[in-house]
């Protein structure tokens, strides 16, 4: 497996005050033909993230067609679980409704932040969203006592299956406290209420590994494949890859991902938050580069 980088296709613009920096966690929705709507999180002058979108033609991806003037998912009210950040994570089309699972983020004191998974629903093709609940849909509990973050939801044989990021604790380093997190699994009959049993999908494996995040799962003839981000004490995020026959038991092949950081430029320090789609028998990967998307996101095609 290898990927041909098509370059950075979108950079944040100060034209809109909700997007002064970053275009983080690109999350594509197919509209029609070659047209895709890519949701992402932009940060305002207070470093708070909200979710908007850019429309692209995947046959000419470096020329954006339209950027949302306002975020489609905004910050929650003061004190709510998403009052400091709203990041897209996974998009699922359910009939006429577009379901966007997102990360709600709020600031902490002894630790820097808390996060949980929320859900926004659109009935106009992703132009606008309403939050299905004022509270999270995947909150902290005994299985996930610290926080839940980026998720991927797929409907398989009528069942909603979720692979999601779960923190395993906070560690005090010389530079401050930092969360460790890996990827777990949950199921649902309706995409709203989830059953969690603590099933670990992708666990720590490399020396000094502390972060595994943003799963992206695709069903194949042989089972499932997953892309994700992972980081160790020796390097920032890289893109990882794993396969599974049942979606529960996974084998990692991070050395076979087929994409790596560049010698210089916008993705020379790290690569993060992959989202893989299939279009016209070709596969494409959206991903972020340096500083978690401060400089935008790029696209690569599988060869």
User: DSSP state, 138?
Assistant: B
> What whole-number distance in Å separates Cα of residue 149 and Cα of residue 229?
13
pLDDT tens-digit profile of 35-71?
A: 999 999 999 999 999 999 999 999 999 999 999 999 9
The answer to whether 44 and 20 have CB atoms below 8 angstroms apart is yes
Longest dimension (CA), the chain: 51
User: DSSP state, 73?
Assistant: B
- pLDDT score, position 79: 97
What's the whole-number mean pLDDT along residues 115-134?
97
- pLDDT score, position 14: 80
> What whole-number distance in Å separates Cα of residue 87 and Cα of residue 120?
11
For the whole prediction, is pTM greater than 0.75?
yes
pLDDT at 176 over 90: no
pLDDT at 174 over 90: no
Residue 37's CATH number: 2.120.10.10
pLDDT tens-digit profile of 199-227?
A: 999 999 999 999 999 999 999 999 999 99
pLDDT tens-digit profile of 265-293?
A: 999 999 999 999 999 999 999 999 999 99
Domain extent, residue 277, equals 3-302
Domain count, the chain: 1
- pLDDT score, position 190: 96
C-alpha distance across the termini of the chain, in Å: 7
Q: Which residues partner with 152 through β-bridges?
A: 163
Q: Is 299 exposed, middle or buried (0-12, 13-18, 19+ CB in 10 A)?
A: buried
Helix (H) or strand (E) holding 120: strand 113-122
- Arithmetic mean of pLDDT over the chain: 96
The answer to whether 206 and 223 have CB atoms below 8 angstroms apart is no
């Amino acid at each position: 497996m290898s990927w041909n980088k098509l370059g950075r296709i979108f950079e944040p613009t100060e034209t809109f005050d909700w997007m002064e920096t970053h275009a983080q966690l690109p999350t594509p929705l197919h509209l029609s033909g070659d047209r895709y709507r890519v949701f992402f999180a932009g940060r305002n002058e207070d470093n708070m993230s909200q979710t908007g979108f850019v429309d692209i033609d995947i046959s000419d991806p470096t020329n954006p067609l339209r950027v949302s003037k306002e975020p489609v998912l905004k910050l929650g009210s003061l004190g709510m679980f998403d009052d400091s950040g709203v990041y897209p994570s996974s998009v699922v089309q359910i009939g006429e409704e577009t379901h966007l699972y997102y990360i709600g983020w709020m600031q902490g004191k002894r630790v820097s932040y808390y996060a949980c998974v929320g859900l926004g629903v659109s009935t106009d093709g992703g132009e606008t969203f309403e939050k299905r609940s004022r509270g999270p849909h995947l909150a902290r509990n005994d299985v996930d006592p610290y926080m839940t973050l980026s998720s991927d939801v797929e409907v398989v044989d009528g069942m909603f299956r979720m692979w999601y990021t779960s923190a395993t604790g906070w560690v005090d380093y010389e530079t401050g406290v930092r969360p460790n997190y890996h990827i777990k699994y949950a199921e649902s009959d309706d995409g709203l209420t989830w059953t969690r049993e603590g099933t670990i999908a992708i666990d720590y494996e490399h020396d000094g590994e502390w972060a595994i995040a943003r799963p992206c799962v695709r069903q194949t003839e042989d089972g499932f494949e997953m892309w994700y981000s992972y980081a160790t004490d020796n390097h920032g995020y890289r893109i990882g890859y794993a396969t599974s026959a049942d979606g529960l038991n996974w084998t990692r092949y991070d050395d076979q991902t087929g994409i790596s950081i560049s010698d210089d430029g916008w993705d020379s320090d790290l690569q993060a938050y992959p989202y893989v789609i299939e279009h016209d028998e070709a596969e494409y990967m959206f991903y972020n580069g340096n500083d978690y998307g401060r400089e935008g996101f790029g696209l690569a095609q599988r060869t």
